[in-house]
A = this chain, B = another copy of it.
Amino acid sequence: MAEGKQLRSFVEVGRDSHFPIQNLPFGVFRRRGATEPPRPAVAIGDFALDLAAVSDAGLFNGPLLAGSACFRQETLNMFLALGRPAWKEARATLQRILAADEPVLRDNEASRKKCLVPMSDIEMLLPIMVGDYTDFFCSVHHARNCGFIFRGPQTPVNPNWFHLPIGYHGRASSVIISGTDIIRPRGQGHPIGDAQPYFGPSKKLDFELEMAAIVGPGNELGKPIDINDAEEHIFGLVVMNDWSARDIQAWESMPLGPFLGKSFSTTVSPWIVTMDALKPFACDAPKQEPEPLPYLAEKNHVNYDIPLEVWIKSKEQSEPSIVTKSNFKHLYWTLTQQLAHHTVNGCNLRPGDMFATGTLSGPVWTPFGISISSCTC
């Protein structure tokens, strides 16, 4: 059975669906109105394939997953901890049992009904227990735009930026999934003259288009992950909106960086697209100048060609309009460089940790509102 474009599922998948058999992103769902605990799934067409049910049916029969309890959990953390060999085994099993020429589910109505749940019958949940969440600042175009806006054309980017992936710790407790309502944060803004600072609902609520990596096995405290092993620790990617209250952020950030201007909510997509599914979209990452220090120099310096757009529909609009257009491939510091840098001081990563790219701006200052409306710094 070929992994590739020609692979087809017996589950009908519309041409515009994000969920063909080549994707199979992982999430966690609950049947609407059901009392059973949440369970892991992959998406296929308009269905969630219930991995607890697949496991109960004995269909995970590979050496690493047969008998494993990892799909009887309420999050994916146990599965993440198993590492790439188990992830690959799961993917191979799922592509096999979903394939058009495989009868095991296709021709067993009872089993098929247990395993394939229509998406209209489910609600999605945060698929991981996030231990720690880190936000990087790795798009050079975004760094240039921010630098230009805040410090003028002479010194557009801080001198450290080209030597290391700049990052900061974010708030893990307020990571939520797409579709969860955001409550406009209250907080302080710059005072005008000698008055008290502004206090009230943020007047400058903003979005930031990012993607975030979900960490697999991770490392022990004090044992950095080598740059060339880093990809073994990255399970997949989610799309992320790093909601930002610019007025709160501007007043509070000196000297220790963003805090309440960000911590009120961070939205991620409920489905995690695996790095294995993204492989066909790998492309060369931008050449780095100056050459990175040896601990950041990698044999396989790749990004992924993932077109990204942000559309907004305000109350006054009848149709949404596009405000940002970018691509993941513009990332200056790759995911593997971010991960290796994160651990070089001995900091330990754990399964389910999340690290985000920072705002992904494209090379062209488009008329779509990139940068001023979505600037990390």
Binding site for B on A (CB under 8 A): 131-132, 137, 158, 160, 163-164, 166-174, 176, 183, 185-188, 191, 196-197, 199, 221-222, 224, 245, 248, 251-261, 263-265, 290, 293-295, 341-342, 344-350, 353, 376-377
Contacts and interface: CB of A to CB of B under 8 A. Distances in A.
B188 A348 contact: no
Contacts of A348: 173-174
Given A160-B188, A168-B169, A188-B293, 9 more contacts: A131-B172, A164-B251, A166-B256, A167-B256, A168-B168, A168-B259, A186-B224, A186-B345, A199-B293
Is the contact region of chain A dominated by helix, strand, or loop, or is it mixed? loop
B259 A167 contact: yes
A183 B222 contact: yes
Nearest to A202: B345
A151 to B, nearest CB: 9
A186 B255 CA distance: 24
A311 to B, nearest CB: 25
Contacts of A257: 168, 253, 255-258
A74 B207 CA distance: 39
Specify how many copies of this chain sit in the oligomer. 2
A334 B288 CA distance: 47
Nearest to A172: B132
Given A186-B345, A188-B293, A376 B256 contact: yes
B196 A252 contact: no
A328 B166 CA distance: 33
Given A221-B176, A259-B169, A160 B252 contact: yes
26 contacts: A131-B172, A132-B171, A158-B255, A160-B251, A160-B254, A164-B197, A164-B252, A167-B259, A169-B170, A172-B172, A173-B221, A173-B347, A173-B350, A174-B221, A183-B221, A187-B344, A188-B293, A197-B293, A199-B293, A221-B265, A253-B257, A255-B377, A256-B376, A257-B257, A257-B258, A260-B342
Contacts of A196: 163, 290, 293
Given A290-B196, A376-B256, A188 B169 contact: no
A256 B137 contact: yes
A167 B261 CA distance: 11
A216 B18 CA distance: 42
A104 to B, nearest CB: 40
Contacts of A137: 256
A271 B178 CA distance: 40
Nearest to A260: B345
A193 B173 CA distance: 42
Contacts of A188: 160, 163-164, 293
Nearest to A146: B255
Contacts of A251: 160, 164
